[in-house]
């Protein structure tokens, strides 16, 4: 089946650019604050997703949505049961990675050719393939347009043959993913529609060109009682100016997002310009393998996800990374502690704000961090129940909760953050969170000792004055006229 005949990838032409791909979407989260895993969390997360259906969209085929999905913790017990039924033994939880892959269904290129390329990368990066798993789906539950372009969905399970002491497993999996993508891109395979939804030792993504109600019907795994997690992030996509596709559905590997990143072109350009200056003891000789970090031509959320992935791979916490990417307003007229101002000032030299009306919720598999842009143009509200259930969404009412069960309700304010730590079983507020992060290092001292300000540079007495004739020639070359001057 040749998908290009039906929904082609739109290339840059005229006034259109893929960089303009933005969404107006529904975001939700359900979590057990104490970190207790259960299938009920998955069930409630999918229920919340269904209540966000009006935030998504569909076209002429009402059964084909712009995209919907869920990200949660890897359900180790579920996969262990499934693997034993095929006489395969999985390592302990956290000691292996799971890749969720969209492989294009094409008449001329077989799935095995993609698998061979993936396997070559696995061996190159010193991983061992444990298991190929066909993800069970029910294509009768989705729209005809979505089914026509439906990819072949597979999972692969890998473990490291010999772990590099300087690299965490997830960092090695990051390098592996980049290697796979480069191998596919440099081959005859269809790299446009090949997509790795997630490759992690802690989280997994189930998503597609679906409407919210179809997610649990299409992905049979999600209905198994052994499929458990302590949190579920869900997303219903409304693509404002592009055609939907399987890979553009949310969640991405680390984030769900409602809104727009208006600065994305500049963010990508700055990221590309800094790549040659990257240094890292953790990556070592593998540093070049992850470049480019992000590319032009993908959605703003995909680029943001790439940036967050890099920051997490370098050992920064999810809250530290989010403060770098989406800082609050911290100008001289803003009242804040010297430590927090120094944090933002220091990091502004290495990362520009990913700015725009945006609600961003990200996870590293243990913590969930939400941040609202400094203008507060995308709402986020949450409530906590007396039985330690956290429900958060881009609007209230994503799950019905009896009033007598509600412990408290709150919202995220402009420029503020929210963190759930499932390991400590705590919700950490904005003030405590940012105070802790900003005091981890002496950022103010580093600025005083190392920053060079242009205003403090002395003018050289030996400045050469350019001959007037040369100056006029350059003005003519670049099209300046007397009217403009």
Structural domains of the chain in order of their starting residue, each with its CATH number:
16-450 (3.60.20.10)
219 DSSP β-pair partners: 137
Pairwise CA distance, residues 430 & 272, whole Å:
31
Pairwise CA distance, residues 91 & 106, whole Å:
34
Q: What is the pLDDT along the chain (485 residues), one digit of tens a residue?
A: 344 444 445 555 555 455 555 446 889 999 999 999 999 999 999 999 998 866 665 666 667 878 999 999 999 999 999 999 999 999 999 999 999 999 998 767 889 999 999 999 999 999 999 999 999 999 999 999 899 999 999 999 999 987 666 678 999 999 999 999 999 999 988 888 899 999 999 999 999 999 999 999 999 999 999 999 999 999 998 776 556 789 989 999 999 999 889 999 999 999 999 998 998 888 888 999 999 999 887 889 999 999 999 999 999 999 999 999 999 999 888 999 999 999 999 999 999 999 989 999 999 999 999 999 988 888 899 999 999 999 999 888 889 999 999 999 999 999 999 999 999 999 999 999 999 999 999 999 999 999 988 777 766 555 566 666 677 888 888 888 777 76
Q: What is the pLDDT of residue 1?
A: 39
Q: What is the pLDDT of residue 467?
A: 67
Among candidate residues 217, 126, 248, 229, the one with its CA nearest the CA of residue 179: 126
Q: What is the pLDDT of residue 101?
A: 98
Strands of the sheet with 127-134, listed across from one edge: 127-134, 152-160, 97-103, 195-200
How many angstroms separate the Cα of 187 from the Cα of each of 109, 298, 329? 12, 20, 45
CB neighbourhood size of 30 (10 A): 28
Q: What is the β-pairing status of strands 358-363 and 255-259?
A: antiparallel
How many angstroms separate the Cα of 138 from the Cα of each of 135, 214, 470, 483? 10, 10, 71, 67
Active site residue 197: no
Catalytic residue among 25, 72, 197, 369: 25
CB neighbourhood size of 472 (10 A): 11
How many angstroms separate the Cα of 294 from the Cα of each of 23, 49, 100, 155, 270? 19, 29, 20, 24, 11
Q: What is the pLDDT of residue 6?
A: 45
């Amino acid at each position: 089946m040749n998908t290009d005949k039906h929904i082609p990838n739109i290339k840059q032409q005229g006034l259109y650019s893929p960089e303009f791909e933005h969404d107006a979407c529904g975001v939700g989260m359900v979590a057990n604050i104490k970190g207790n895993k259960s299938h009920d969390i998955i069930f409630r997360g999918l229920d919340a997703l269904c209540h966000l259906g009006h935030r998504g969209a569909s076209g002429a085929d009402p059964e084909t949505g712009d995209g919907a999905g869920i990200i949660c913790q890897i359900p180790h017990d579920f996969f262990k049961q499934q693997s034993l039924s095929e006489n395969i033994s999985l390592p302990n939880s956290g000691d292996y990675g799971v890749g969720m892959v969209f492989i294009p269904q094409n008449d001329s290129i077989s799935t095995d050719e993609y698998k061979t390329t993936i396997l070559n990368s696995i061996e190159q990066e010193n991983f061992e393939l444990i298991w190929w798993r066909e993800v069970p789906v029910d294509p009768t539950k989705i729209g005809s347009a979505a089914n026509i372009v439906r990819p072949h969905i597979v999972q692969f399970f890998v473990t490291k043959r010999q772990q590099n002491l300087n690299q965490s497993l997830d960092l090695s999996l990051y390098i592996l993913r980049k290697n796979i993508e480069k191998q596919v891109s440099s081959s005859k395979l269809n790299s446009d529609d090949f997509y790795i939804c997630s490759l992690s030792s802690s989280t997994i993504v189930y998503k597609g060109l679906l409407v919210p109600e179809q997610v649990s019907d299409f992905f049979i795994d999600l209905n198994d009682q052994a499929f458990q997690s302590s949190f579920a992030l869900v997303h219903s996509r409304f693509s404002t100016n592009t055609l939907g596709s399987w890979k553009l559905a949310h969640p991405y590997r680390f984030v769900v997002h409602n809104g727009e990143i208006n600065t994305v072109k500049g963010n990508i350009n700055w990221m590309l310009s800094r790549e040659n200056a990257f240094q890292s003891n953790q990556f070592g000789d593998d540093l070049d393998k992850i470049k480019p970090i992000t590319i032009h031509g993908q959605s703003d959320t995909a680029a943001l996800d790439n940036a967050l992935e890099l920051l997490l791979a370098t050992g920064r916490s999810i809250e530290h990374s989010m403060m770098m990417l989406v800082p609050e307003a911290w100008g001289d007229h803003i009242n804040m502690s010297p430590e927090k101002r120094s944090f933002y000032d220091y990091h502004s030299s290495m990362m520009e704000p990913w700015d725009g009306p945006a609600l961003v919720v990200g996870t590293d598999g243990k913590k969930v961090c939400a941040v609202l842009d400094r203008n507060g143009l995308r709402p986020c509200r949450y409530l906590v129940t007396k039985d330690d259930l956290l429900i958060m969404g881009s609007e209230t009412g994503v799950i019905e909760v009896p009033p007598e069960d509600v412990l408290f309700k709150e919202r995220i304010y402009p420029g503020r953050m929210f963190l759930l730590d499932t390991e400590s079983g705590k919700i950490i507020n904005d003030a405590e969170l940012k105070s802790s992060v900003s005091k981890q290092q002496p950022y103010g001292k580093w600025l005083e000792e190392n920053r060079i300000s242009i205003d403090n540079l002395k003018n050289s007495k030996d400045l050469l004055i350019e001959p007037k004739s040369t100056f006029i020639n350059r003005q003519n070359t670049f099209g300046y006229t007397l009217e403009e001057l």
